[in-house]
Amino acid sequence: MAEAGTGFLEQLKSCIVWSWTYLWTLWFFIMLFLVYILRVPLKINDNLTTVSMFLNTLTPKFYVALTGTSSLISGLILIFEWWYFRKYGTSFIEQVSVSHLRPLLGGMDNSAPSAASAANGDADSSRQSVSECKVWRNPLNLFRGAEYNRYTWVTGREPLTYYDMNLSAQDHQTFFTCDTDHLRPADAIMQKAWRERNPQARISAAHEALELNECATAYILLAEEEATTIVEAEKLFKQALKAGEGCYRRSQQLQHHGAQYEAQHRRDTNVLVYIKRRLAMCARKLGRTREAVKMMRDLMKEFPLLSMFNIHENLLEALLELQAYADVQAVLAKYDDISLPKSATICYTAALLKARAVSDKFSPEAASRRGLSTAEMNAVEAIHRAVEFNPHVPKYLLEMKSLILPPEHILKRGDSEAIAYAFFHLQHWKRVEGALNLLHCTWEGTFRMIPYPLEKGHLFYPYPICTETADRELLPSFHEVSVYPKKELPFFILFTAGLCSFTAMLALLTHQFPELMGVFAKAFLSTLFAPLNFVMEKVESILPSSLWHQLTRI
């Protein structure tokens, strides 16, 4: 019985919700009709007469104050809505309406799949969306002490966000620690140091660990955060390499003796790869590019399975600096594969190589007269492919937006990845004659081929909608985040802007021409209520007078 009663109440509630959702217009007219019928006992006419007499006694100054106050309030709402939209990308009023009013009106989220088959059918696309919105370690990230901190000393601005540094701390704990660290005093200290938020506390812990033992991870921390120049960082990394190679050889001999030894060997492998990669980056920054290329190639041959560090992107940048375009093409042939995750470095480097073959002789006027040649068509298609993957990059390459220091983590296809790519590769595009001109003439044509709205892509999966939120977390607040696709202004911003302008105009006109505005207001109200009066006269003429008399006596 209780279950039957509960079911009846649920059905009754759903019926009421349905009626309010779809029949609200009927309810509204019924209420108006009842109010009109009961206008005599409710003394509505007398009250309206009293109100009209009161309004007639008001001076024009009151109406000026009323419209001016309305304009001020709507202007404040407009300013708040605009600020909220610029910061969070949505309208505050719209968000509150969707969050609080929709449940009251019985609205439901129809986007969620209602059956298991639909969920299974969307599994691949949702998995792809999640993977594309994953935050990746920037393979070309700068040194905190020698580069990021120097920027802070000069400008007084923090180039890294707390979210970005927190992700780096998690990476360090994953790569540089293991479960057996508590058995070794120096590693136990470093395990706590990687979790420390205060930079000075981390540096002090690293020095404390070095007093106990030659600890490779302690040298890494000092090279990353304490060294103020690349030369100092390279010296510390060389000391870390000496200590790391010894640990790696010892753990390599014991890796098959148990799970703990295997975990320790995996940690020592990560440490060694990280040190060698950073040493190669130091050589690249100090101008020893050929040495850096050799170190990167040797590292990729020695540890071919460790693709998490994306060392091939470091190699591509160094080869472009040497202008070894044939070697760059060989690396792209290996990594620009459909089964591997794409990146802006791969897509735009492939576009640069194809643009290099035609850019020095490319002329938009000549191309419009004779049409594009096969090589030019290939170059344009490569540019379109790159722009579809990351549409934020061209504005940085064409210097339409100012660059900032790249973050330590990037979001593929996002503004953070575009900054990281352009920061290191802009010089390579400038070195190829005519490449930026070709990019300038052709990159906007990409958007004519992408379906709108972005329910599907052209060459890649649809552009993920999560990039703006993640980029705002990764990039500093003083940088204006690039957003794609451009969001249209919400309705409530346009509405409040129109309301503010209209009420301000009314206040000004009422102040300047009080009598004329009074005549205009009376004419407007009489015109507005004319259809209602006409309908009421027709209703009174149709209904019998006896019925009308009985209803008014209720």
User: For residues 177 and 49, which has the higher predicted lDDT (pLDDT)?
Assistant: 177
271 pLDDT exceeds 60? yes
Domain ranges, ordered by start, for the chain: 161-324, 341-486
Number of Cβ within a 10 Å radius of residue 491: 11
User: For residues 322 and 73, which has the higher predicted lDDT (pLDDT)?
Assistant: 322
Q: pLDDT tens digits, residue range 182-208?
A: 778 888 888 888 888 888 999 999 999
Tell me how long the chain is: 554
Quote the pTM value: 0.67
Q: Which residue has the tokens 């607040």?
A: 477
Q: pLDDT tens digits, residue range 478-487?
A: 888 887 756 5
| pLDDT reported for residue 491 | 65
| pLDDT reported for residue 175 | 85
| pLDDT reported for residue 143 | 92
| pLDDT reported for residue 128 | 42
Query: Which amino acid is residue 10, in one-letter code?
Result: E
| pLDDT reported for residue 180 | 79
Q: How far is Cα 378 from Cα 374, in angstroms, rounded to an integer?
A: 6
Q: pLDDT tens digits, residue range 111-153?
A: 333 333 433 444 444 434 434 468 888 888 899 988 998 999 9
User: For residues 466 and 119, which has the higher predicted lDDT (pLDDT)?
Assistant: 466
| pLDDT reported for residue 497 | 76
| pLDDT reported for residue 89 | 63
- For every residue of 435-456, DSSP letters joined together read HHHHHHHHGGGGGGTS-SSSSS
161-324, superfamily in CATH?
Tetratricopeptide repeat domain (1.25.40.10)
Out of 97-101, 175-179, 218-222, 289-293, which region has the weakest mean confidence (pLDDT)? 97-101
Q: What is the mean pLDDT of the chain?
A: 78
Average pLDDT for 513-539? 74
Q: pLDDT tens digits, residue range 397-446?
A: 988 888 899 999 998 888 899 999 999 999 999 998 888 888 888 877 66
- For every residue of 124-171, DSSP letters joined together read HHHHHHHHHT-EEE-TT---IIIIIHHHHHHH----S-HHHHHHHHHH
| pLDDT reported for residue 490 | 66
- Which of the four pLDDT bands, split at 50, 70 and 90, describes residue 222? very high
107 pLDDT exceeds 70? no
Q: How far is Cα 490 from Cα 277, in angstroms, rounded to an integer?
A: 47
CA atoms within 13 A on the CB side of 14: 7
What six digits make up the tokens of 346?
Answer: 């791969």
Query: Which amino acid is residue 437, in one-letter code?
Result: N
* Cα diameter, the chain: 108
Average pLDDT for 507-526? 76
Average pLDDT for 163-186? 85
